[in-house]
Amino acid sequence: MITGIIFAAAVVGIIGILIGVFLGIASEKFKVEVDEKEIMVRNELPGNNCGGCGYAGCDALAKAIAAGQADVGACPVGGASVTEKISEIMGVSAGSAEKKVAFVKCKGSCDKTKVQYNYYGIDDCRKISVVPGSGEKSCVYGCMGYGSCVKACEFDAIHVVDGIAVVDKEKCVACGKCVASCPNALIDLVPYKAEYLVQCNSHDKGKDVKAKCDVGCIGCTMCIKQCEFDAIHMDNNVAIIDYDKCTNCGKCAAKCPVKVII
Amino acid sequence: MKELLLIAIGSALVNNVVLSQFLGLCPFLGVSKNVKTSAGMGAAVIFVITIASFVTSLIYKSVLVGLNLEFLQTIVFILVIAALVQFVEMFLKKSMPALYEALGVYLPLITTNCAVLGVALTNVQKDYNILESVVNGVGISVGFTIAIIMLAGVRERIEYNDVPHSFKGSPIVLITSGLMAIAFFGFSGLI
């Protein structure tokens, strides 16, 4: 009886020791050299694993930065402080990594835009965008207000207020998830410092815009004439601001007849 | 040959490891949020179970039976499987980095997948030889992959629906997998 127990214990013990020794040898034999820089870079990254950089998480980005495949400022979440530390590790000077935020190019809240029908159904913009007329609001370019971007945001930085999505500038880390989630491609990453933004995405002609929404860009080109820096242009009936040239003078916003530049 | 085919189909569909034996439920519920990750998990499970059923069956036949210590099977299998997953991970990292990247975090997670141990023990219970064990392992892991990918597909669609508040999260997933299990019950007349 007792010898049986001892025998069993001995067999398991021996198997355990054999496996231990085997794994020990194997770990030496199959050791993979990890770049020292990669570990240091990884320690500086925020570790949210949000994927905003386009890589499959912070580990993958650290590897890419250490290998020189990604920019030292590739992490949109970390901001300037992280970029600085990483560039120190990598021994290169940090570029002018500008803090960006997401911005919803639509102002058509429930009271400003016309409603064409009542919608009852699946609560998700990506599904609603295939419904004829793409949702309740008559403008097909605008925010449908069903909050796919809100669900996509991991930082609680975007909310639907009065039928349109609004970004909380302070909480936004520009990870770009909401940009990808919007079926109308309505969300852009814009510089944090930019004060004047065109809050409309409608490519309709001026008359059609007027018929559908009180606060849409009618393509009157008034803002273009005001701008002294050649920073604003018309693209398919909607004004687009070039943030590299814009000096935040605000003349365009002052003249805009529909107050779509804020 | 016919017998092997019967074992494979039987373990993949008729006695599906998740839906009729209720093994490996943790990864089945935990990693089935979208089709891509569940396919990764499925691939890793196929990989590990195939190797594990070979190795455990070999050890059982050559060591435990020889020493008259069959009752130690569970504890020895646990040891062997845990070590095997560790070793496979090291080996892949060194010699097949592409596959290692593809399987990613799911490879070490499999250590906690009871389906692996389940396969090893069923092989012993049913007195399979080594070849039959490997075929059984492949069948079971393919069955697991089918089930987890199907559940992930269903869950992706559930996301868009208006699920009653008290059913959100795990309850609706459990109900869904229950319905899937009933559907798989239809395979029971196959062999």
Q: ipTM score of the complex?
A: 0.70
Chain B residues whose beta carbon lies within 8 Å of the beta carbon of residue A30 = 90-91, 93-95
pLDDT digits (tens, 9 = 90+) for A135-161: 888 888 888 888 888 888 888 889 888
From B76, B94, B95, residue closest to A15, measured CB to CB:
B76
Say what the pTM is. 0.62
Q: How large is the average pLDDT for residues A27-45? A: 80
Q: Could you say which residues from 141 to 180 on chain B have a Cβ atom under 8 Å away from some Cβ of chain A? A: 159-162
**Strand ranges in chain B using DSSP code E only, listed in sequence order:** none
From B75, B160, B162, residue closest to A12, measured CB to CB:
B75
Which residues lie closer than 8 Å to A104 by C-beta, 6 or more apart? Answer: A143, A149, A158, A164, A165, A166, A167, A186, A187, A199
Residue type, A239: A
Q: How far does Cα A58 stand from its chain's mean position? A: 16
Which residues lie closer than 8 Å to A238 by C-beta, 6 or more apart? Answer: A198, A200, A201, A202, A203, A217, A219
- The alpha-carbon radius of gyration of chain A (Å, integer) is 27
**Contact yes or no for A153/A177 (Cβ under 8 A):** yes
pLDDT digits (tens, 9 = 90+) for B64-106: 888 888 888 888 898 888 888 888 888 888 877 777 777 777 7
B69 touches chain A (CB under 8 A): yes
From B72, B83, B87, residue closest to A8, measured CB to CB:
B72
Confidence of residue B137 (pLDDT cuts 50, 70, 90): very high
Contact: B87, A26; criterion CB under 8 Å: yes
**Contact yes or no for A200/A240 (Cβ under 8 A):** no
pLDDT digits (tens, 9 = 90+) for A164-200: 888 888 888 877 888 888 888 888 888 888 888 888 8
Chain B residues whose beta carbon lies within 8 Å of the beta carbon of residue A7 = 67, 69
Contact: A19, B79; criterion CB under 8 Å: yes
Q: Exposure string (b/e) for B120-155, b if CB count within 10 Å is 16 or more?
A: bbbbbeeebebebbbbbbbbbbbbbbbbbbbbbebb
